[in-house]
Amino acid sequence: MLEVSGLNLSLKGRSILRDIHFRLEPGQLVSLLGVNGSGKSTLIRAMAGLIKPDQGKVLMGGAALNAMRGAERARQIGYLPQKANGISCSVFNAVLLGRTPSLGWRVSSRDFAAVERVLTLLGLEHHAMRSTTELSGGEFQKVAIARTLAQEPRILFLDEPINHLDIKNQMELMTLLKKITRELNLITVTALHDLGVALRFSDRFLLLKEGGLHTWGDRTAVTAPAIREVFGLETMLHEVAGIPMVLPLFPCCHA
């Protein structure tokens, strides 16, 4: 279980996050939603232990993440920023780099097995010997996620993982994230911009407004009034063939 309790964070004297409280369970794909500048990326970095909050705690199974040493935290948490670092090597070696927190003096059979398992899970086994420079955007993003999963984390934080992908790759990647979240019993937190994609794939939703948590919960938490208050946008919510759809109507002045 991941619990965030009373989180407050300021940067350069400016309040970015204030009084954040929520609790997430394993097996949940969670969407973090809000306008640009609402604090999504900062909250992800704070939960991942990359920024120390002014107040509050981030607990995993009752243990404070901020109190863990870097290597120990890296074995518990996988973090993928908005722009993953590009490296020129084989796909296999790129994913193997994710084992760094667990590596001893040499690469072990367990490390090789972990990489092979992740490549198979993400459907990348046939690309293992390809150079990362030959990959498409969607393929490279899968490799970046595979590298993060090679750590064998319990929690996965992804900051806008589909932002620069075409619609086909967006659907493939979100389907994949939902699958691995279930199969590996992870807590996966993704910052997203597309409300329709979030509603289609996610189990839980965190809606940020001006650094505060406006709403959190299951799909019933994402309502037209909540969208109006958080995004300043009038919308209609419908289902087509069982798939939730968000139809933007016009801007309003409540955000």
Give the HSE-up count for residue 201: Cα atoms under 13 Å, Cβ half-sphere.
28
Q: Is the pLDDT of residue 126 over 60?
A: yes
Confidence (pLDDT) at 165: 87
The per-residue pLDDT for range 186-234, each reduced to its tens digit, is 999 999 999 999 999 999 999 999 999 999 999 999 999 999 999 999 9
Kind of pairing between the strands at 55-60 and 2-11: antiparallel
Mean pLDDT on 15-29: 94
Confidence (pLDDT) at 12: 85
The per-residue pLDDT for range 105-123, each reduced to its tens digit, is 578 888 889 899 999 998 8
Q: Is the pLDDT of residue 255 over 60?
A: no
Confidence (pLDDT) at 61: 80
Domain 2-222 is found in CATH 3.40.30.10: no
Q: How confident is the model at residue 137 (pLDDT cuts 50, 70, 90)?
A: confident
Average pLDDT, the chain: 89
Confidence (pLDDT) at 216: 93
Contacts of 104 (CB under 8 A, 6+ apart): none
Determine what percent of the chain is predicted with pLDDT higher than 90.
56
The DSSP 8-state label assigned to residue 84 in this structure reads P
Q: Give the start-to-end residue ranges of the domains of the chain.
A: 2-222, 223-255
Q: Is the pLDDT of residue 70 over 90?
A: no
CB 175 within 8 A of CB 16: no
CB 143 within 8 A of CB 80: no
